[in-house]
């Protein structure tokens, strides 16, 4: 009996401090300078059937090209050095398509992101950061969280207008008016993460975002208005400019948006300037809730790569997606069955490309 009492008293002495800590009395606060490292991945995979134009095999037989593909595979490595310093390294595994390359057709390994990030909250507004290295460019990063179907295909700004998703340089981002918006400034090589800098010209990129109704409780609470400018040169006195603006809305029942893009390209100081413009809108209704269950995708693009000559293209995309339910967190998995058609209109005789029609099953893993 005495032995049993001693065991009970000993257990109480062990448990009471733990219980007191669980009530919040003595639990130490989390260490803001704790170091950590995290590993994740992002995979875009698909099966695509091309209904038009038809192709031919090695014997000259007419075929409808179709294949299973891995469009992209990221390995995300991110970590924290201190409360002020963090980093990210993202290798990109994708198929080599360069003609004449000994690796043509092989899956190759290259860097997409590799940068240091510095939190400037102690000296400036909360959320202010600076990045150095191979980093995201401001505009495409700002829309990826709303248009969540990059795994189907990139937006008009990247697919048609030549915007670059990542480049080597430095950027600065600062919130404005608390939650009402932000400004970003970036200074980059201008050639993109996949190319070396061939000269002394640099790309200056400016972005301003406004969330005018973020404090309201109405249907337009998630409205975002964005303007972006990229000033660059191919070489001295040969300008390369891009301008984009958009209005996007996040609602509990849908996401939607409209964007306009224009550009000026003068590849040589003695050549002719090429002016381009286009617009796009998308609508993604949620049959249940965002990121859980069935969703729709409707998108239309219109782009003219040379405003001085006849000919433009338009793109229709329609599909139904299923986002697999999962516990709370940032990990996602989705499947999308979609149809895409690209039409080429008002081209001169003999120069008009054939209409493109594709049916695909796209998949996303993001962890």
User: Which ranges in the chain belong to alpha helices (H)?
Assistant: 2-22, 138-144, 156-159
Residue 126 burial by CB count (10 A; 0-12/13-18/19+): exposed, middle or buried? Answer: exposed
pLDDT in the model for residue 109? 81
- What's the gap between Cα 283 and its chain centre? 17
pLDDT in the model for residue 20? 39
- Both tokens of 149, joined, read 């179907």
CA nearest to 166, candidates 191, 204, 192: 192
Low-confidence residues of the chain: pLDDT under 70 = 1-32, 98-105
CA nearest to 358, candidates 61, 53, 68: 53
User: What global pTM score does this model have?
Assistant: 0.86
Contact 230, 205 (CB under 8 A): yes
pLDDT in the model for residue 173? 97
Q: How far apart are CA 87 and CA 109, in angstroms?
A: 20
- Both tokens of 173, joined, read 């981002």
pLDDT in the model for residue 180? 95
pLDDT in the model for residue 56? 94
pLDDT in the model for residue 19? 37
How many C-beta neighbours within 10 Å does residue 259 have?
24
pLDDT in the model for residue 327? 83
Tell me how far apart the 2 most distant CA atoms of the chain are, in Å: 104
> Using the 8-state DSSP alphabet, how is residue 145 labeled?
T
3-state secondary structure of 18: helix
pLDDT in the model for residue 350? 84
pLDDT in the model for residue 94? 76
């Amino acid at each position: 009996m005495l032995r049993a009492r001693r065991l009970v008293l000993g257990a109480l002495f062990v448990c009471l401090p733990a219980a007191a800590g669980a009530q919040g009395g003595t639990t130490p606060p989390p260490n803001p300078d704790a170091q950590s490292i995290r590993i994740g991945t992002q995979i875009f995979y698909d099966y695509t059937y091309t209904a038009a134009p038809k192709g031919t095999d090695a014997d000259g037989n007419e075929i409808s090209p179709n294949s299973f593909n891995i469009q992209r595979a990221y390995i995300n490595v991110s970590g924290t050095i201190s409360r002020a310093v963090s980093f990210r390294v993202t290798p990109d595994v994708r198929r080599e398509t360069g003609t004449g390359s000994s690796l043509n057709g092989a899956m190759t390994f290259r860097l997409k992101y590799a940068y240091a990030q510095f939190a400037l909250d102690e000296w400036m507004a909360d959320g202010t950061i600076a990045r150095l290295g191979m980093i995201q460019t401001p505009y495409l990063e700002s829309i990826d969280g709303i248009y969540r179907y990059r795994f189907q295909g990139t937006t008009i700004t990247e697919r048609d207008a030549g915007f670059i998703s990542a480049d080597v340089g430095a950027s600065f981002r600062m919130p404005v008016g608390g939650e009402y918006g932000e400004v970003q400034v970036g200074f980059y090589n201008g050639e993109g993460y996949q190319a070396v800098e061939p000269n002394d010209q640099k790309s200056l990129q400016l972005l301003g975002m406004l969330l005018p109704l973020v404090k309201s409780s109405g249907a337009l609470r998630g409205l975002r208005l964005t303007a972006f400018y990229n000033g660059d040169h191919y070489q001295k006195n040969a300008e390369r400019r891009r301008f984009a603006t958009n209005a996007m809305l996040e609602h509990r029942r849908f996401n939607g948006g409209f964007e306009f893009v224009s550009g000026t390209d003068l590849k040589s100081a003695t050549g002719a300037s090429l002016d381009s413009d286009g617009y796009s809108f998308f609508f993604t209704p949620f049959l249940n809730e965002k990121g859980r269950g069935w969703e729709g995708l409707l998108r239309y693009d219109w782009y003219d790569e040379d405003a001085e000559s006849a000919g433009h293209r338009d793109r229709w995309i329609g599909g139904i997606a299923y986002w697999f339910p999962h516990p709370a967190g940032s990990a996602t998995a989705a499947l999308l069955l979609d149809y895409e058609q690209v039409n080429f209109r008002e081209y001169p005789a003999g120069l008009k490309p054939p209409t493109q029609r594709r049916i695909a099953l796209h998949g996303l893993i993001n962890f």
